[in-house]
Amino acid sequence: MDAFIETGDNLLNGEVQVEDGRPDAATVKQLTALYQQAPWQSYDAETVRRAVQLAMLKAIRVDEVQANHQLTPDTIAYIMGYLVTRLEHNKQHLTLLDLTVGTGNLLTAVLSQLNAVVAGTIDAYGVDNDDTMLAIAQLSSELQRLPVNYVHQDALEPLLVPASDLVVADLPIGYYPVDANAAGYQTHATTGHSFVHHLLLEQAVRQLTPGGIGVFLVPSQLFQTEEAKGLLKWLPNNAYLQGLLNLPSELFANANAQKAILILQKPGAGAKQVKQVMLGEFPSFKDQSAFQKFVAEIVQWEEQNLMTKRA
C-alpha cells in the first residue's frame, strides 16, 4: 500500500520523486517509461477508480489487510449509489459524508453516480482514523478528479465536518475500545466494550440534517443480536427505519457474514416514518430479470414514500 501511495504521488506530480538518492537513476528511468504507458489523465473517473480498486485488491491479498480495512465491493457500491441517486436527483446542493471512508471506493463510486444526477454542487467529505487508508482515498479521488475533503480523526469523537444531507458508510464490525467516548452514546453497551457499528449509526444520525438520509452496509442480523437491545431502544426516538434490504446470500461465505443495506432517515423537514418499511432480499445477481424487477420495486417505493417527504 505504501508503494501505491508513492506511485500515485508520482503520477499526480508528473515525475518520480527521489529522496536520499532513492530510487536510483536506473529505477527512475524504468518507472518513467512505465508511467508513460499509463496516460491516466485521459481516463474517465470510473476507469481510474476500477484501476485503483484492482491495485487495492492485490494489496489486500499480499499485505493480508484486516477485514474492516477491505474495500466495499463494486456491486454493493453501485447498488448503494443507485439507491441514493433516486433520493437526491435534481437537488441544487448536497452535502455527502462517508464516516468510515477507508480507501474511498464506496464514496467515490457513489459520488460519480450522484454527479450525473444532482443539478447543483456536491460537497463531499470522508472521515477515517487510519492515515494510510486516508492517503489512498485522497490519491484515488485526485486521480479521478473528484473533489473530496478528507479528515483524519476518530469518527466517534466530535466530527470536524459540517452537517450532512446524506451519509453513506460501509460500517466496520466489532468492538470500540475507547469506553470513555462510547459512554456519550445512547447505544453504548451497559457492560464491556460497545459495538462500533451501533455507535456509528447513532453518530451518523446526529450528523444528518433534518430529513437527511443515511444508507449503510450492516450485518443482516443487526437487530437480532443480544447487544441490539440498546440500538432498538435508541432507534424509535431518533431515526426512522425506512428500509432493510438483505444482499444476496451467494455473495457471502456463510449466513453469519451476510450483509444488508439499511436506510435511516432523520426526523424533521417533513420526514415521516413510512407506512410500509422496505424489507426484502435482493435476488441473485445471476438472475438479471428478477434483480432488475426488484430494483424497480425499490425505486417505486422510494418515489412514493421518501422523495415526496423531502420535497
Residue 309 burial class via C-beta count within 10 angstroms: exposed 0-12, middle 13-18, buried 19 and up: middle
Assess contact for 95 and 208: CB atoms under 8 A: no
Q: What is the pLDDT at residue 308?
A: 43
**Residue that is written with C-alpha cell 453513506 in the block:** 168
Query: Does the global pTM surpass 0.85?
Result: yes
What is the percentage of the chain residues whose pLDDT exceeds 90?
Answer: 73
Lookup: cell for 96: 455527502
pLDDT digits (tens, 9 = 90+) for 62-86: 877 766 666 788 888 999 999 999 8
Does 283 sit behind a cis peptide bond, omega within 30 degrees of 0 on the bond before it? no
Q: Mean pLDDT, to the nearest integer, of 127-145?
A: 95
Helix (H) or strand (E) holding 123: strand 121-128
d(CA 163, CA 206): 8
pLDDT at 69: 62
Q: Which residues, 6 or more positions from 195, have their beta carbon under 8 angstroms from its beta carbon?
A: 173, 174, 175, 176, 187, 189, 227
Q: Over 70: is that where the pLDDT of 243 sits?
A: yes
pLDDT digits (tens, 9 = 90+) for 20-36: 999 999 999 999 999 99
**Residue of 170, 173, 152 lying closest to 161 (CA atoms):** 152
Q: Write b or e for each residue in 251-277: b if 16 or more Cβ atoms lie within 10 A of its Cβ, otherwise e.
A: eeeeeeebbbbbbbbbbeeebeebeee
CA–centroid distance for 196 within its chain:
15
Instruction: Give the model's pLDDT for residue 257.
Output: 85
pLDDT of residue 68: 60
Q: At what angle do helices 131-143 and 2-13 cross, to 10 degrees?
A: 30
Report the distance separating Cα 159 and Cα 151, nearest Å. Answer: 9
Rounded CA separation 68/206 (Å): 23
Look-up of cell digits 433534518: 210
Grid cell in block for residue 77: 457500491
Enumerate residues 6+ apart whose C-beta is below 8 A from 35: 10, 11, 16
Q: Say if residue 310's pLDDT is above 60.
A: no
pLDDT digits (tens, 9 = 90+) for 244-288: 999 998 888 787 889 999 999 999 999 999 999 999 999 988 898
Phi-psi region of 11 (alpha: psi -120 to 50; beta: other; left: phi over 0): alpha
